[in-house]
Each structure stands twice: as C-alpha cells, then as structure tokens.
Structure 1
Amino acid sequence: MKPSLLLLHGALASEKQLKPLARQLAAAFDVRTLSFSGHGGQPLEAGTFSMAGFADEILRFLDEQRWEAAHVFGYSMGGYAALVAATQAPARFRSITTLGTTFGWSPAMAAQATAFLDAGKMRAKVPQYAAHLEELHAPTSLPALLEATSALMRGLGDAPPLTQANLSTLKVPVQVLVGELDTTAGVDTSQQFASYLPQAAFEIIMNTPHPLEKVNPDLLASRVAQFAGQF
C-alpha cells in the first residue's frame, strides 16, 4: 500500500495548482488534493474562511479519506494551514513539507500583503489575472474572495497562530523549503522559524522566486518524496 500524501494549495489558488505535482508523485504515493473553503468553487462561509477553519478542513479531509496519518505538502498558505493543524493533532501527520510559506506575520506584514487585494485595483492593473480568479473561484465573487483573504491575513498579523512556543513542541518532521529569490516568504524568516522546530530540515532552493510555477518541478517532487520517504 502506498503512503498517503495530501497536497495543499496557496492563497487565491485551488487544488488545480497542484495537479502537475500530484501526477509526478502518484507512482510513489496515494496522492490527494483539496480546495479550501471559498477556493475553486467551494462555498465561502465566514465561519470557515480563516486559518483555523482551513486547519479544521485538513483534519476533516483526513477523516473522510480514513487516513490515520498522512504526509502533507503545503505551498505558501497551504503550508501554514498544515502546521496549524499539526499543532492541534500531531499524530495525524507523518511529515510536512512547506514551500514558500510566510511565517513571520505582523500587522505591518498583513498591511503590505493586503494592499493589492482590492477587486477594482486588480481589474484595472491586471485584468487577465482578475478574470482568471473570477473563473477559477466561481460562484464566489472576486470582491468577496479578496475581502475574505484580507480579513484572514489581518487576523494572522494581529494574532499569529504559529509561534516559537508551539512550534518548539511540535513532534512532527517538517521540511521547510524556500526559494533564494522569494521575497514573499523571505529566506531569513523561513530559516528562523525552521530553527524553532525540533525535527526540521531547511533548504534554500537557489535562483527561485515565490510563484510555484517558477519552481523546478522535478526538484520539488524529489524533495517531497525523499523527505516523506524517511518517515
């Protein structure tokens, strides 16, 4: 029986983002993906569109798959949600790999991250991207999705759920990957938070920015498979 592996997408994306990676890993793992609340056609509900809500969705998904424990890969926001879920139920996670996950949330960082999350500005400056988001997340409207995402990020800035205190007691193997050119997650902050984890591996992927499509797909698949294969 193949080991179980769940892939989690980033903000303003959906499980479609991870289908190429899923295909690469399918030979070695029983791979599943999910779209978080409000993403990829899933209903947007105020009570579930939060980091705590996304963490709950991960745990419910593991229950639905009847997976006692699973390996998880999370890109950006997906990695953060996986770690939040793991702080609540560590026994459900065999390993976690994060890529490009922003850890050092603060009010100032949240303000910077949400500055462009305005439907009017987005439609005016990057109309093709705005149209892509509207199609990807229908029937959720673009203004509703951006407003909910802004609220989520402000919540992270005001009260970050991942701290040195709870990460330092997390008994789950975690691999933290970050691109050398990733100014969103930041190399130094990623390394700092990796140092809090008692069972962590940290790697800088050279010449790589934040967007997932800019990451070498073969390298990423190999890193996920090799790390998960140890546990």
Structure 2
Amino acid sequence: MKPHLLVLHGAIGTSYQLRAIAEALSDHYTIHLYDFPGHGGQPIADAPFSIPFFSAAVADYIRTQQLEHLSIFGASMGGYVALHLAATQPSLVDRVITLGTKFHWDPVTALKETKMLQPALMKEKVPAFADSLEKMHAPADWKIVVEKTAEMMMEMGAKNPLQADDFKHITIPVLLLLGDRDRMVSFEETIQVYKLLPDAGFGVLPHTPHPAELVNAQLVAAIVLNHQSSKKPIAG
C-alpha cells in the first residue's frame, strides 16, 4: 500500500495549482488534494482566517479520512500550516515538505505582503488576476477570501504563530524547498528555520520563482522521493 501525501496550497490559492506536482508523485503516494476553508469553492467559515484555524481544519480532515503514515507537502502558506500541525499535533504527521514558505513575519513584512491584498485595488491594477480569483473560489466570494487573508497576515506580523522553540520541538523529518528566484521568501529566513529543526533538509530549486504552478514538478518529485528514501531505516 502506498503511503499518503496530503497536498496543501498557498494563501488565496487552490489545490488545482499543485496538480502537476501531485501527479508527478502519484506513482509513489496516495494523493489527497485539500482546499482550505473558503478556498477552491469551499464554504467560508465565520471564524477569522488564521494559521491555527487552518491547522485545525487540516487535522479534522486527517482524522475524518483516517490518514496514517502521512506526509504533507505544503506550498507557501500550506507549508506553514503543515509545520504548525507538526508542532501542535505531532501524532498526525510523519513528515513535512515545504515549498516557498515564508517564516519571517513582523509588522513591516505583513504590511508589505498585504499591500496588494485589496479587492478594489486588484480589480483596478490586475483585473485578469482578480477575475481568475473569482472563478477559482466560486461560489465563495473571492473578495472576502482576500480580505480575510490580509487580516491573517497582519495578525501574523503582530505575533508569528511559530516561534523558534516551536521549530526546535518538531522532531519529524522536514524538507524545506525554496526557488532561487523567489521574491517573497528569503534564503536567510529559510536557513534560519532549517538550523532550528532537529531533522531537516534544505533544497534550492534553480530558475524557480515563488508561484507553485511555475515550479518544475518533475524536479520537485525527484527531490521529495530522494528525501523519503534517505529517511527509510536501514535493515541489518
């Protein structure tokens, strides 16, 4: 029986953006593509968006689906949620792979990242992107998704949900991946977390920007599978 891989998308995104990566890994894993509440047509909850809220939603999904021996692949925010789950409910996940996950949050960073997360401004400046978000999240209102995401990021800037001690207590294998052309996530913040994690690997993807749908899926799959094989116990 193939092990399970739960795939988590980034902020204001959907699982559809990670289908190429999921397909590249499907021969080796039973794939579960997950959409966070309010994303990809899922109902928008009354509760504010937050990392703990999304982490709890993923935990509910894992328990409902009775997923065991589970690895989680999380892109951007999805990676942060996966690590939050590993820190707070370690029995639910065996391994985490992150791609382009932003770890450094403070008020200045949050303000920068939310500058364009204004529906009216997006409709004016990037109308094609706004239209794609409308289709992506229908029947949910994409504007609410964007506004709730901006509020979440501002809260993260005020208090980062994962602190240094949290990373130090994540004992499962973790692989941190980062594109060399990622303009949102720095090498410095990724390496800092890499050094805090007790059992971590770090990989750089060449010619790779932040959006997960622009990543070389076959390359990601090869790195993920190599990391998995290196963590298997040696019989003897």
TM-score range, shorter chain: over 0.9
Tell me the amino acid that sits aligned with residue 33 of structure 1. L
1:106 Cα deviation after fit = 0.7
Which residue in the other structure is 1:62 paired with? 62
1:65 Cα deviation after fit = 1.5
Is contact 1:75-1:100 (8 Å) kept? yes
Which residue in the other structure is 1:26 paired with? 26
Which residue in the other structure is 1:203 paired with? 203
Quick one: structure 1 residues 69 and 156, their matched pair in 2 at CA, closer, same or farther if it must change by over 3 Å? Answer: farther
* Cα RMSD after superposing both structures: 1.2
Q: TM-score, normalised by structure 1?
A: 0.96
Matched residues in 2 for 1:187 and 1:181: separation?
10
Q: TM-score, normalised by structure 2?
A: 0.94
Matched residues in 2 for 1:114 and 1:31: separation?
32
Which residue in the other structure is 2:128 paired with? 128
Matched residues in 1 for 2:128 and 2:206: separation?
29
Query: % of aligned pairs identical?
Result: 35
1:68 Cα deviation after fit = 2.9
Deviations 1:71-93 (A, max 9, x none): 01000000000001111111221
1:226 Cα deviation after fit = 2.1
User: Do structure 1's residue 217 and structure 2's residue 221 form an aligned pair?
Assistant: no
What's the secondary structure of 1:170's corresponding residue? coil
Matched residues in 1 for 2:15 and 2:213: separation?
14
Matched residues in 2 for 1:178 and 1:60: separation?
28
Tell me the amino acid that sits aligned with residue 122 of structure 2. M
What's the secondary structure of 1:202's corresponding residue? strand
1:211 Cα deviation after fit = 1.3
Which residue in the other structure is 2:159 paired with? 159
Greater shift, 99-108 or 201-210, is seen at 201-210
Matched residues in 1 for 2:181 and 2:25: separation?
25
Matched residues in 2 for 1:44 and 1:36: separation?
9
Q: Count how many residue pairs are aligned between Structure 1 and Structure 2.
A: 231
Which residue in the other structure is 2:182 paired with? 182
Runs of 4+, deviation exceeding 4 Å: none
Is contact 2:5-2:72 (8 Å) kept? yes
1:48 Cα deviation after fit = 5.7
Unmatched segments (≥5 aa) in structure 2? none
Greater shift, 165-174 or 208-217, is seen at 208-217
